[in-house]
Structure 1
Amino acid sequence: MLKSDKDTSAKSLRRGGGLEHWAERHLRYLMLAPTVLILLALTIFPSIYMFYAAVHRISPNPDLPWEFVGVGNFARLLSDPQFHVALRNTVVFTLVAVALEFLLGLGLALLLDRFIRRLSFLKTVLMIPMMLPPIAVAITWKLIYEPQFGVLNEIMFLLGLPVQAWAGDVNLAMFSIIVADVWQWTPFVFLLMLAGLASLPVEPYEAAALDGASSWRQFWDLTLPFLKPVIAIALLLRVMDALRLFDLVFILTGGGPADRTKVLSLYIYQVAYRFADPGYAAAISLFVLFVTIVLSTWFMKRMRLAE
């Protein structure tokens, strides 16, 4: 009897010790499990639901069943003129805005890194726009562009120049959106470029200076190649963010005038909520997701090949 009790106790200890050992070995996974489950619930389920909705025609009447249409919603993209307008506007905005943000961000980073390193408060000032909520930025620029009492037209009047409608002009609306976006997100590129410059090795520049290389030559032959990974990350993040622009357009122009600033994110919103066609809106969303993944993959492969 005593031997049996001892055997049972030993088995319990071994079982308990094995469980404790397993928990210790997998502690990191156990601690991450709740976060992973929450992320899966917030990403996997909506993604599956979006795929399911994209192949159905969904009626605004919740009592009517969903009608399976297969690739019908995706086929509509080819013949939808409003989608083509939104796609063109999105491409124009992304190319121009990201290019300006990169050039200005890199230029400011080089300026602060070489000439005014001691004025650290300027870095804080330059990063303020990036830290503001997009809605606040959009409302601020809406007041700046106001035709009657906006500060921009006040400056134009004082300079003797004709006042403009800015966000309400068909020729200036997209330009106004780009200026506001560049103002807000150039600090993001500037911060990444400044961090990249701070991590550059000193020895190659000392050797280049001894060889008589000019500052311009050092920039092309040393700085740009060293910064290539940082530049790739900055451009990739900004392109991905520009493709889903919504706040500025929604508040400043609403997609007008004459659809000159209607971008894909705004069109998805209009299709889903104004035209009550969530199935087609899901198809457009999947198209944007697909384009973003393809561009990101292609861009990263190009950067690896260029190294």
Structure 2
Amino acid sequence: MTVSVGVKFGNSFERWRERHLRVLMLAPAMLVLLTLTIFPSIYMIFAATTRISPNPNLPWQFAGVDNFLRLLTDEQFHVGLWNTLIFTVFAVGTEFLLGLGLALLLDRYIRRMNFLKTVLMLPMMLPPVAVAITWKLIYEPQFGVLNEIMFQLGLPLQAWAGDVNLAMFSVVVADVWQWTPFVFLLMLAGLASLPNEPYEAAAIDGASAWRQFWDLTLPFLKPVIAIALLLRIMDALRLFDLVFILTGGGPADRTKTLSLYIYQVAYRFADPSYAAAISLFVLFATVAFSTWFIKRMRLAD
């Protein structure tokens, strides 16, 4: 009798374990996701719809959509949005063209030079803070390497990160230097997976190298290009580290991005409710753009 009860209990436990094993294995990851992602998101939505006083003794007041309506008339927000879009277009566009060009060059002519490929990928392995400090030293007006080269070539010295006309260009150059290897790596992997038969058939038909690139390489690489552009655009829209260290948003707010403005609103102006509203705007805009971009790429196929 005791043995039969034990067997039934063991079978029931086995069935319960098989039924709930997936849930048990996912529970730690779900707990981490709930703690680090879902709860902060809910808290941010709650903060964006309230009015939080810097004085912790004062109660929070419900504000509804007032914080979001401020976005329509906030000139600093408009400046940050415009600068973010300008940076994203020029930085990501340049990184894509350089990354694709380097991948085509190394895939066709320098396939065996693995050491060169490793060197090209080194910048993206560095911490963004280290990259920002390095380029800050390079752009230093009096003792920077760049101005020393300009002096040796007999060219006029520049303030670079401190010039209103060159500040955004300087930030773009630093970002391109760090993240072009990321696009290069994705493009190189995509080129390595291309089939040879269509190219052999095109060569027999007399198609030029440019025609093969336009009619074969680009269509084959479209999924990889979509991934590279989407990841880089999403990352560029939240640029903070590089601008914070390199220019601080100046001069004259020429490099102030939305992420930097969120930081200033939250910690310098002590307005966390409005900072949460701007953060939600950036989040929803990024999600909307990503959804639209993915749908367009699917329709293009």
Distance 2:208 2:250 in 1: 49
1:280 aligns with 2:283: no
Check if 1:296 corresponds to 2:290. yes
Cα separation, 2, equivalents of 1:25 and 1:152? 64
Q: Given the alignment, which residue of 30, 36, 49 partners 1:55?
A: 49
Inter-partner Cα distance in structure 2 for 1:9 and 1:57: 66
Q: Does 2:90 correspond to 1:93?
A: no
- What is the match of residue 13 of structure 2? 19
- Following TM superposition, the consecutive aligned residue runs of length 4 or more in structure 1 with deviations greater than 6 angstroms are none
- Are 1:245 and 2:263 matched, yes or no? no
Deviation at 1:9, TM superposition (A): 4.3
Alignment pair present for 1:156 and 2:136: no
Residue in 1 that maps onto 2:228:
234
Alignment RMSD, CA only? 1.0
The letter for the 1-side match of 2:33 is: L
Partners of 1:183 and 1:158 lie apart in 2 by 23
| Structure 2 residue 253 is matched with structure 1 residue 256 | no
Structure 1 residue 225: Cα displacement: 0.3
Aligned to 2:127: 133
Matched residue count = 301
Identity of aligned residues (%): 81
* Displacement after TM superposition at 1:26 (Å): 4.0
5 Å matches for 1:109-258?
109-258=103-252
Q: Distance in 2 between matches of 1:93 and 1:290?
A: 19
Once the 2 structures are TM-superposed, how far is the Cα of residue 15 of structure 1 from its aligned partner?
A: 2.8
Q: Residue in 2 aligned with 1:44? A: 38
Which residue of structure 2 aligns with residue 3 of structure 1? none
Distance of 1:13 and 1:74 partners within structure 2: 63
Distance between the aligned counterparts of 2:6 and 2:44, measured in 1?
A: 49
What residue is the counterpart of 1:84 in the other structure?
A: 78
Cα deviation code 1:27-71 (max 9, x no counterpart): 344223212211221101000000000001111111111111100
1:40, 1:217 → 2: CA distance? 51
Report SS of the residue matched to 2:239: coil
In the TM superposition, residue 283 of structure 1 has moved relative to its aligned partner by: 0.1
In structure 2, C-alpha distance between the alignment counterparts of 1:22 and 1:218, rounded to whole Å: 58
Decide which structure has the larger Cα Rg and report it.
1
- Counterpart CA distance in 2 for 1:106 and 1:210 is 26
Structure 1 residue identity aligned to 2:292: W
Structure 1 residue 12: Cα displacement: 3.8
- Report whether the alignment pairs 1:265 with 2:259: yes
Q: Which runs of 5+ in 2 are unaligned?
A: none
TM-superposition CA deviations, 1:165-201 (whole Å, max 9, x none): 0000000000000000000000000000000000011
Amino acid at match of 1:263: T
Which letter maps to 2:13?
Answer: L
Is 1:70 paired with 2:64?
A: yes
SS at match of 2:256: coil
**Which shows bigger deviation, 9-18 or 157-166?**
9-18
Separation in 1 of the partners of 2:3 and 2:264? Answer: 68
Paired with 1:303 and 1:154, the residues of 2 have a C-alpha distance of 46
TM-score by length of 1: 0.96
Gaps of 5+ in 1: 1-5
Q: Counterpart of 2:74 in structure 1: which amino acid?
A: D
**Separation in structure 2 between the aligned mates of residue 23 and residue 205 of structure 1, nearest angstrom:** 54
**Take 1:224 and 1:26, find their aligned partners in 2: how far apart are those partners?**
46
